[in-house]
Structure formats: structure tokens, C-alpha cells
Amino acid sequence: MMLSSVIRNLFSKPATRPFPVAVRTAPDGYRGAVEFEEDVCIYCGACATRCPANAICVDRVAKSLDFDPFKCVQCGACAEACKKGCVQLQIDYQHPVAAHSTVTFNGALKPPEAP
Amino acid sequence: MAQRTVIPFGPQHPVLPEPIQLKLTLKDEIVEEALPHIGYVHRGVEKAAERMDYTQNVFLVERICGICSFIHALCYCQGLERLMGLEVPRRAAYLRVIWSELHRLQSHHLWLGLYADAFGFESLFMEFWRSREMLMDIFEKTAGSRVIISACCIGGVRRDISDQHLQETLETLKMLEAAFDKSSEVMLNDYTVKKRTVGKGILPADKAILLGAAGPVLRASGVEQDARQTGFAAYDELRVEPVVETAGDCYARAKVRIRECRQSLDLVRRAIAGLPDTDIAVRPKGRPNGRTISRVEQPRGELLYFLAANGTQKLDRLRVRTPTFANVAPLVHMLPGCEVADVPVIVLSIDPCISCTER
């Protein structure tokens, strides 16, 4: 009964992709890594209030935002809550890092430029 | 002289994807008694739900179970909508049906694969799981994630499915059905598969009712009961007839799930064809107050949420009763009398989801 499948599988390509050679891109609207645009952010804290994983901590007085990518569950509640549209979910997944740390956004710190 | 031996089956066992331990008392090769032990994956979700905002809980309850995440969120949202007096727009109700049925399809595909693996049919396992990837791709495209789709919210759904994506879904389902026809035929008619499943782990209808079985386990024993008959979401318009088999053995349970897959395919197509053009969500106003019980049909059976709210942002109590918990008692009844080699097949035939059970 499985014979037709076996013969078909012998002459067809594998269902999987050879990963480093063929990289799959996620479709539009995929909920990947969260990114903040600190130039637009007014540090209102709406995203921190809605976050179910407590991954965002906003200091409204000091105008700074701490984001813990390890707590983030990529639900997109922050992006929905943001009135300014400065929180976006990238199509790309969260990249691995060497050590557990939070990322602080306060307008002063710019991401280091690539060497 | 027959000797009695106690063998621990699980919590780590090649055939079980999740941790449940069964202490099997054997007389030679025959099981005399099975004693279940759970408590390996308790995460305290119910307590966590009391400490979080009621809107944040939607994302929490989805994580109770990865395989039917949308249906958990639907059950929770449905209960809160009743407490807050919200009328869900019809398009949202239909979209909820579409995602629920796609979840049922992928859950049954996952189970059929694992079940084939339980009696050592690796190639059939691969066939089912290859088909399941098509469903995961539909979730990724329509909802933005493959497993925890986070598409449900209080008052409706979080995102709409475009016409183009609906067409693509229908085309994918056509391919899925063609693959499913071939694989399910092997599952139902193959000599070796029948040899391992027919007449194993019989649960008569009266025992199924007495022990409180749920879902396909109950329906395979000939009891006509499906929570979708209550008409939640858009099931009031898209009528569902429960899939019933009468044998009550492992083969009947597989047959019920295979027929449910076909029913789900039909339901998704009907829901897409009759998708109304309205809003997709209403904004919740005020805070929930009062107590309610919400029931939905999961792939494994009836899921029940009890919600107690007190007019604040936090709930007083969230109680979850999952179908696997209901099916553990029938499982303990099925095992005595079977051979020890049939234990994995019988255990898997209830589709155990221990993460759901322990929350």
C-alpha cells in the first residue's frame, strides 16, 4: 500500500531544504524579533503595560526603555499598543547573543556601527 | 508459575512525547493494573493567570498547549466576552472557526504520525508529518507564527485573512487532501496496522460515559457528543455532526480522527465560502465581573474554562479542565488485560497531552 509512495519518494526531491544553501524567508506579517525606533519613541510606557512577559520596562522621567529579548515571546502586543508606531516586529528571528543582557534605549545610545 | 512484576512506563519513554508515568503491574506479559502518575510538567499557569491583566492572559493560556494554542485562547476569550457582554462580529467568528479547524487538522496529523510511530511504522509517520508542514505554513502566512499563533483577542481576532491568503489556503488544502487520502488509506486498511490496533484497548460506551471520557475517545465508543454542537463561534451556522464509531478500540479511535480530518477540511472550505464581510473585532469596554463557564471542542475533546472576575483588571480564579485529564481514567480502564507490547499503542490512542493536563 505504501509502494506507490515509496516509488514516488525515490524519484522526487526531499521535502526539506539544504539550509545554509537555500535559506527560507518568512512571509510578510511574520512575528519575529522586536525592534524599537528610539528617535520616534516618546517613552509613554504603553508597550510595557501591555507586554504579557514583562520584557519591557519604561522609565518615563528618565526617558529610557529597557528591553529584555530573552523574556520576549514575540506576541506583538507592544506593536499593537504603540501609538507612535515605533515598535515593530521584524520578519527575521531573534539572533543569538553571547551573554544574557537587556538592551537600553534612551536616545543617547546608538547601536555600534559595524567595523 | 506466573510472576507479578511492576514496570514503570515513562515518564521518559521513546514512544511518549510527554511525561506521564504508568506503573504497570504485569503477570507474565499481561497487564493486570495500571497506576498513572502525573506532576512532571506543572507550570502554575492558573496561578499566574490571577496575577496578570485579563488581556495579557490570552497570551498566557495559549501557552498551555502548543498543539491547540488557538483553541485555548478562543475558550478564554469566549468566557470573558460573555462576562463583558461583547458581541463578536460574524467575520471574526468565522475566522475563529477557520483557525480552530486548521488547528484540529494539524493536531490530528501530528497524532496520526505519532501513532504510526508507536507501532513502528516510521515511513507513515514521515508521510503525515510532511503533510502537516503545509498546515504550519498556512498558520505562518495567515497569523504570523507557526505554533503559538496569537490570533485571538477579547472581542474578536487580531488580524484578518486576505482574499489572496484564503485562496492560497484552499489550494494548499487541496494538496493536503490528496496526500491525506493516500496516508489515511494505509492507516485504515493496511494488514499490519490493523493487526496492531483492531480489538486493542476496548472501551465500551457505558464505561466511557461512567469514566467521563471526552472527544474522539468518547465518540469512538459510540457516544454522540461534541462541544461544537453547542454552537460557539460560528458553529451555530456551520452545523457539525459528531463523528461516531462504535467499536471503542484503538482502530476506531484512529478512524474517528481520520474522519474528523475530512470533516475539518469540509468545515474550513464552508467557512471560507461563507465568510461575511464585517469588522474583525469589537473593543472591550469596562472590566469583567461575575462567573462563567466556557466550553469548546479541542482536537482531544471538550475543553472547559471556569472564570471568576471581580470587576478589576485581574481575575479571581481561572480553572482549566483539559480533555486529556478526562481521558486518563478511561485509559487506566483500557489497559488491564492487554499485552505489554500494546501499551504504547493504547496510551497514544487517547492522544495524551500532559502539558495541557498539568497546566
Tell me which of B166 and A115 has the higher pLDDT.
B166
Contact B57, A53 (CB under 8 A): no
Q: Which residue of A has its CA nearest to B150?
A: A75
A75/B150 Cβ within 8 A? yes
Residue A68, pLDDT score: 86
The 10s digit of each residue's pLDDT in A51-60 is 998 888 888 8
Contact B138, B268 (CB under 8 A): no
B182/A4 Cβ within 8 A? yes
Q: Chain A residues with CB inside 8 Å of B48's CB?
A: none
Cell representation of residue B84: 463583558
Contact B152, B98 (CB under 8 A): no
**CA atoms of B228 and B77, how far apart (whole Å):** 16
Residue A10, pLDDT score: 87
Residue A98, pLDDT score: 79
ipTM associated with this complex? 0.80
Residue A92, pLDDT score: 80
Architecture of domain A41-97: 2-Layer Sandwich (3.30)
Least CB-CB distance to B185: which of A1, A6, A27? A1
The phi, psi pair for B33, rounded to 5°, reads -150, 145
Ramachandran sector of residue B316 (left: φ over 0; alpha: ψ -120 to 50; beta: rest): alpha
Tell me which of A104 and B141 has the higher pLDDT.
B141
Q: What is the mean pLDDT of residues A53-82?
A: 86
A74/B59 Cβ within 8 A? no
Q: Chain B residues with CB inside 8 Å of A76's CB?
A: 144, 150, 158
Q: Which residue of A has its CA nearest to B127?
A: A5
- CB contacts < 8 A, A to B, total 52
**CA atoms of B57 and B34, how far apart (whole Å):** 36
Instruction: Work out the number of other CB atoms within 10 angstroms of the CB of residue A9.
Output: 16
**CA atoms of A42 and B102, how far apart (whole Å):** 40
Residue A108, pLDDT score: 62
Residue B166, pLDDT score: 92
Residue A110, pLDDT score: 53
| Residue A99 pLDDT exceeds 60 | yes
User: Which residues are bridge partners to B297 per DSSP?
Assistant: B302
Q: Chain A residues with CB inside 8 Å of B190's CB?
A: 1-2
Of the pLDDT bands very low, low, confident and very high (cuts 50, 70, 90), residue A114 is low
Q: Which of residues 18 through 57 in chain B touch A, CB cutoff 8 A? A: 52-53, 55-57
**CA atoms of B347 and B352, how far apart (whole Å):** 7
| Residue A112 pLDDT exceeds 70 | no
Q: What is the mean pLDDT of residues A87-115?
A: 71
Of the pLDDT bands very low, low, confident and very high (cuts 50, 70, 90), residue A37 is confident
Q: Which residue of A has its CA nearest to B132?
A: A15
From start to end of B13-145, where are the E strands? 21-27, 30-37
* Residue among B30, B47, B45, B35 nearest B10 (CA): B35
Of the pLDDT bands very low, low, confident and very high (cuts 50, 70, 90), residue A103 is confident
Q: Chain B residues with CB inside 8 Å of A5's CB?
A: 123, 127, 182
Residues of chain B with pLDDT under 70: 1-2
Q: What domains does chain B contain, in order, with CATH numbers?
A: 41-358 (1.10.645.10)
User: Which residues are bridge partners to A87 per DSSP?
Assistant: A36
For chain A, the distance separating the N- and C-terminal CA atoms, rounded to the nearest angstrom, is: 59
Residue A107, pLDDT score: 65
Q: Any idea which residue has 488509506 for its cell?
A: B185
B141/A2 Cβ within 8 A? no
Which residue type does A97 have? V
From start to end of B149-188, where are the E strands? 152-153, 156-157
B182/A31 Cβ within 8 A? no
Cell representation of residue B71: 483553541
Q: Taking an 8 Å Cβ-Cβ cutoff, which residues of chain A contact chain B? A: 1-2, 4-6, 15, 26-27, 29-31, 50-53, 73-77, 80, 89
Residue B15, pLDDT score: 78
Tell me which of B182 and A5 has the higher pLDDT.
B182
Least CB-CB distance to B59: which of A26, A30, A77? A77
